[in-house]
Amino acid sequence: AAREGVLLSVAGVTKQFRGLRALDEVTLAVDSGEIRGIVGPNGSGKTTLFNVISGFYRATAGAVSFAGADTTTARPYTLSLAGLARTFQNLRLFGQLTVAENILVALDRSRTRSLWQYALWQPGVLARERRLRARADEVLARYGLTDFAEADPSSLPYGIQRRIEIARAMAARPRLLLLDEPAAGLNGEEVRQLIGIVRSIRDSGTTVVLIEHNMGLVMSLCEKVTVLSSGKVIAEGTPREVVSAPEVIEAYLGD
Ligand code: ADP
């Protein structure tokens, strides 16, 4: 995979919720082409970090930059158009839509034309519609979802639903994918499939940052891991290095 330097940088980020400091001067940099793991005990600030990076929360102090731009105050929609995609700890699929439509919605989000433009450019719109359908079919095939295209996502096994969520996040070919506990609730075989999926995502040119409790998955996917505890970065290095760091052992024993 190409390494073109830093894609995501978090510099001295603090996030304060009233009396609680969920992030305390967090600094980290993720290179293009990396699969970075974010680990830490419950409540250590991992999801808050994702929310700050993706614009759902605004940092109380510090700066975030993505793809060379200062995105400290950018909104989620802007970041998504700039190539940042994420999944959530709890599934957020659209229940009224089929699997294929969930993918189409993600592909179609850059469309902001007004109605009169539709009327004027009818042939162009139809051609675009066909291109989107073809692209959705490609995405479904790539993630092994073709057989479920017309299904209601909520009728499918949990492991398949998680895969739909990743496929939807990847539909617009983001530069950075944030995965919040992608292995939660998956069985051993599904975790093995997930490892293959995340590798192929990285190999196709998308940088990945994942929050994960499953250390087996972190060990096999990540070259570098950042460990949070009480909102602070307490260790960073290879999975092997961090699991044997005394600060990390202490943080987990106290959990
Ligand atoms: P983790 O993902 O590592 O389990 P979180 O980032 O979810 O940790 O939470 C870190 C701390 O911030 C927790 O104490 C949590 O209760 C608090 N927190 C997270 N979001 C909010 C919020 N919107 N309002 C108040 N407190 C929050």
3-state secondary structure string, the chain?
A: CCCCCEEEEEEEEEEEECCEEEEEEEEEEEECCCEEEEECCCCCCHHHHHHHHCCCCCCCEEEEEECCEECCCCCHHHHHHCCEEECCCCCCCCCCCCHHHHHHHHHCCCCCCCHHHHHHCHHHHHHHHHHHHHHHHHHHHHCCCHHHCCCCHHHCCHHHHHHHHHHHHHCCCCCEEEEECCCCCCCHHHHHHHHHHHHHHHHCCCEEEEECCCHHHHHHHCCEEEEEECCEEEEEECHHHHHCCHHHHHHHHCC
Among 48, 51, 229, the mutation site with the greatest number of ligand 1 atoms within 8 A of its Cβ is: 48
Atom number of ligand 1 nearest to Cα 44: 3
Ligand 1 centroid–CA 169 distance in Å is: 23
Which residue has the CA at smallest separation from atom 20 of ligand 1?
48
Ligand 1 centroid–CA 17 distance in Å is: 8
Residues 194-250: tens digit of each pLDDT: 999 999 999 999 999 999 988 889 999 999 999 999 999 999 999 999 988 888 888
Residues 75-134: tens digit of each pLDDT: 998 999 999 999 877 767 776 889 999 898 888 765 555 555 556 666 677 787 888 889
Among 14, 15, 16, 20, the mutation site with the greatest number of ligand 1 atoms within 8 A of its Cβ is: 20
Q: The tokens of 210 are what?
A: 């994942």
Ligand 1 centroid–CA 22 distance in Å is: 6
Q: Is the pLDDT of residue 2 over 50?
A: no
Mean pLDDT, range 146-162, rounded to an integer = 93
Tell me what percent of the residues of the chain surpass a pLDDT of 90: 73
Atom number of ligand 1 nearest to Cα 50: 6
